[in-house]
Each structure stands twice: as C-alpha cells, then as structure tokens.
C-alpha cells in the first residue's frame, strides 16, 4: 500500500523482540505501518544500538537522554573560593582531561569513552582548571554564549615557578589558565557532537594584555570566558571568545582568542602562516652557542620547591624550550636593534606530550610562545650583562597588547623547532625598568607555523 496526500493518518506498531547488552545496549523489533485496518509496510528485525552505554555504565546511572534545556544542578558538597556554587568539580574536570568524558559531562558523550576520541583539556601537570562556578547557558546547544567562570587554586610552591626561575608565573601558564576554560566551554556546548568524525581542538590565535603581575603569592586564578561567534564549514568549526583572568579578584589579563575544531585530514594539510617566509628577516651572520640544561627534566622534581634565586635567570630543564642559540646578532635585524634565533630538537618523551593532550599529543602553543620570550631573555642577558644580578624578568610587559597566530602544530613525529626574533624596540626607563620588544616566527621542520607580534619582555629592578 501507499500513503497519499488524502490518506489522513497512519500509525506504526512495534513488537519488541529482544533487549540487552552486547556489550552495548541494543534492541531488536518487528514493526508494521498501518492505514486504518490495513498493513501497508512491514519491517523485520529493526535494530537500535546506543554507543558507549554498557551494562556497567547503565548500572552507574549514566544516562544518555538528558533534557537539552536547563542548567545542570550545583554540587553542594563542593565549595569555591568565591563562594559561588560549583557546577563541575575536580573529578569531572579530570574525567574530561584524561578519563571518561561521559563522567565529565554526561551520557551524550558516552561514545567518546571507548569508541571515539574527543578533544580534551590538558592533563596534569599542565591543567589550570579546578572547578566551574558560573554558567549562563544550558549544555549541548552550540551557539554564542553568556559568561562562564572557572577557578584554579595555585599550589603553595608551584613547580612551574621553581622550574622557570622567576617570581612571576610563566607567561605560558597565564595564557593556558586563560584559554583552557574556552576549551571546556566548547565541550560543554556539545562541539564534538556536530560531526561523525573525531575532531582536534586547536587555538588559532589571539590578542591580549597583561594588566598586573601574577605571582606564586596569589592564591586563586579566576577566569571568565564567553563564546562570541560560531561558524561551521567543510567539517570544521571556528569559535571566537572573549576572556578575562583575575588574580585574587583583581583583573590581571584580558583579550580575545579563536579556536578551531578540525578533522585529522585538515590538520595534516595546514600550510603554515601565509606569506611568512617572504616577510621573515634573513640574518646572514651571528654567534651560535648552546644553552645550559639545569636540573632534572621532570616537573614532579620541582613540586613544593620554593624559589630562592633572583636575577636574570633562564629556566631549568623542564621549562627551557630551547637547546641552543643558532644566531645572535646584537646589531642585526631590519632596524639594527638586534636579531636572535634558537633551536630545539623534538623529543617524543617530553613531559608536555603526555599532558597535552591525552590521545592527541602536541606541543602546547603556549610553550612555543614561551620559547620566543626565552630568546628575548638570552638577548637581554647579552645586551645588559651589568644588570644580570640587579634585575628580574617578568612574565611579559604590563599594559601592552601582544598578538599570536598559530597555523600548524608540533607533534612527536617532527624533528626540529626553530624560533626567531627581530628586536623592534629597546627601552631604558628612568626608574630602571628595561624592555625589549620583538616580532618573530616559529618554524617546525622548516615550515613557519606560529607568528608573534609585539611581544615585550620587561626587566624590573630587584629593589622594586
């Protein structure tokens, strides 16, 4: 039979024959379609499977049919520094970073527990989100959002402060603390569900400004982010964000950034920063020298270690992102203010590949930017040797915009990274503060994949 425009109504009847786990939940049924008293279509052995929903998961109460509207309930057993309710705590954050995503967000992410891969937040020791304390939008609806708020508790003696050998938090930690809530929000809004392909999550760039120093003396970093734009095309998703980072309640860092979700094939086809090879400065002469590797390579070796050094110091081994300086030219560059380049061999056993990300190892872009600032530190040591014991490095200069662009990645299969900086300004203030500003690029196996603009390193007298 058939259903025509004037049929009026029709009905389905379902005879459920079998239900169980194999190992995921499934059911088998026969069905018929009726018009009045007449059977017009018959279906035999119709099946349904729920990916990821095993019998064990079902007994734990992990469902897949959460209502799409409404905020998740707060968790009264958890507390926040601000006193706000906690919607997602350390266990849910860890589950998203390195565990079962369904335990971090709910049953809609069950397929990513075993069968599929989801874009993650970094795991320890490079995760800077402890809890989510403000939500203004329901989950699973991918659209521009209101603000969310996340908190990160600073340890009493952070390993990254001791390993970086400076009083202020490393720039890369500040940047990660600002960006990671963007990744959490993208997952909360269901980005991974928009494609049948597994997607990689990558930062594409941003512009921001550090407004005040953040040090190990601070106790809590609070980050507020909101998604301002979403666009989808050719299997990719591009998302824009506003971000604000507070240190113990005071605004310390703010800016804008954008991220992308990409299939593996799209990542593999990235061509790098367009036009960079033509814009890059070519320095024909300069001094080359190795950088000293100090201390053990494991971040765990620095946990609980109190920084008791001062001066213009380069980081210890786990935070030193350069092996050697390949070209130091104090009068190089287009303005004659200086040029410096450094290299690093890619080692698949490095700690950050294990932390960033689970099932998708890639060098954190923030550490690539850190290597650029380390070039400036070496340049500063050479330019102002008389101040090596009288000044200290800050994370990045206060009150000045800096911009970064990412158009590629460094993965364990790569061989070498080269970072280069052209000095664009040198300042010696009357209060003794010294500054170096530079633009530059990062190359991976010869391809320019990062661009840095207006990065300014600040050297402050120790008496301040």
Q: Which of 200, 356, 387, 391 is catalytic?
A: 356
CA-wise closest residue to 250 among 272, 222, 227: 222
Residues 308 and 166: beta-carbon distance below 8 Å: no
Residues forming beta bridges with residue 458, ordered by sequence position:
435
- Crossing angle of helices 171-188 and 90-98, in 10° steps, is 90
Q: Rg of the chain over CA atoms, in angstroms?
A: 26
Helix (H, G, I), strand (E, B) or coil at 12: strand
Number of C-alpha atoms within 13 angstroms, CB side, residue 459?
A: 32
* Number of Cβ within a 10 Å radius of residue 185: 23
Could you tell me if residue 235 is left (phi over 0), alpha (psi between -120 and 50 degrees) or otherwise beta?
A: left
Q: How far apart are CA 267 and CA 407, in angstroms?
A: 9
* Contact residues for 84 (Cβ-Cβ < 8 A; gap 6+): 133, 134, 149
356 is catalytic: yes
Residues 327 and 339: beta-carbon distance below 8 Å: yes
State the DSSP H helix or E strand holding residue 149, giving kind and residue range, or none if neither: strand 148-153
Residues 433 and 461: beta-carbon distance below 8 Å: yes
CA-wise closest residue to 82 among 224, 181, 222, 225: 222
Give exposure, 316-349, as e/b (b: 16+ Cβ within 10 Å). bbbbbbbbebbbbbbebbeeebbbbbbbbebeee
Q: What is the DSSP letter of 360?
A: S
- Crossing angle of helices 365-383 and 171-188, in 10° steps, is 170
List active site positions.
356
């Amino acid at each position: 039979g058939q259903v025509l425009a004037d049929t009026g109504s029709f009905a389905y009847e379902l005879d459920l024959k079998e239900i169980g786990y194999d190992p995921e939940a499934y059911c088998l049924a026969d069905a018929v379609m009726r018009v009045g008293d007449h059977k017009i279509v018959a279906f035999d052995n119709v099946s349904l499977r729920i990916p990821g929903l095993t019998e064990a998961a079902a007994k734990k109460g992990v469902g897949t049919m959460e209502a799409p509207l409404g905020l998740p309930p707060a968790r009264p057993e958890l507390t926040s520094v601000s006193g706000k309710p906690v919607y997602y705590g350390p266990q849910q954050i860890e589950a998203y970073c390195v565990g079962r995503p369904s335990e971090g967000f709910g049953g809609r992410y069950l397929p990513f527990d075993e069968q599929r891969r989801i874009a993650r937040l970094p795991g320890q020791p490079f995760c800077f989100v402890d809890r989510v304390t403000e939500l203004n939008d329901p989950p699973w609806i991918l659209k521009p959002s209101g603000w969310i708020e996340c908190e990160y508790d600073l340890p009493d003696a952070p390993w990254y402060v001791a390993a970086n050998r400076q009083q202020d938090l490393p720039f890369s930690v500040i940047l990660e603390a600002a960006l990671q809530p963007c990744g959490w929000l993208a997952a909360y809004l269901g980005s991974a569900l928009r494609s049948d392909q597994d997607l990689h999550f990558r930062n594409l760039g941003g512009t921001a400004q550090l407004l005040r120093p953040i040090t190990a003396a601070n106790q809590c970093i609070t980050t507020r982010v909101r998604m301002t734009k979403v666009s989808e095309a050719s299997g990719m998703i591009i998302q824009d964000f506003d971000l604000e980072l507070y240190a113990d309640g005071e605004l310390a860092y703010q800016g804008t950034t954008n991220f992308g979700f990409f299939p593996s094939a799209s990542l593999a086809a990235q061509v790098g920063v367009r036009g960079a090879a033509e814009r890059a400065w070519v320095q024909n002469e300069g001094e080359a020298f190795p950088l000293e590797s100090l201390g053990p390579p494991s971040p765990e070796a620095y946990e609980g270690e109190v920084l008791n050094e001062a001066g213009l110091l380069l980081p210890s081994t786990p935070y030193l992102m350069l092996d050697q300086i390949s070209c130091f030219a104090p009068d190089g560059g287009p303005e004659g203010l200086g040029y410096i380049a450094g290299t690093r061999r890619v080692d698949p056993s490095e700690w950050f590949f294990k932390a960033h990300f689970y099932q998708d190892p890639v060098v954190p872009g923030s550490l690539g930017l850190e290597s650029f600032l380390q070039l400036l530190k070496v340049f500063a040591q050479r330019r102002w040797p008389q101040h090596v014991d009288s000044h200290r490095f800050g994370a990045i200069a206060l009150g000045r915009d800096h911009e970064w662009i990412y158009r590629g990645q460094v993965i364990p299969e790569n061989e070498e990274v080269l970072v280069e900086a052209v000095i664009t300004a040198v300042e010696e203030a009357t209060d003794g503060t010294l500054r170096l500003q530079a633009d530059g690029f990062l190359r991976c196996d010869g391809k320019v994949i990062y661009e840095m603009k207006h990065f300014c390193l600040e050297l402050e007298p120790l008496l301040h």
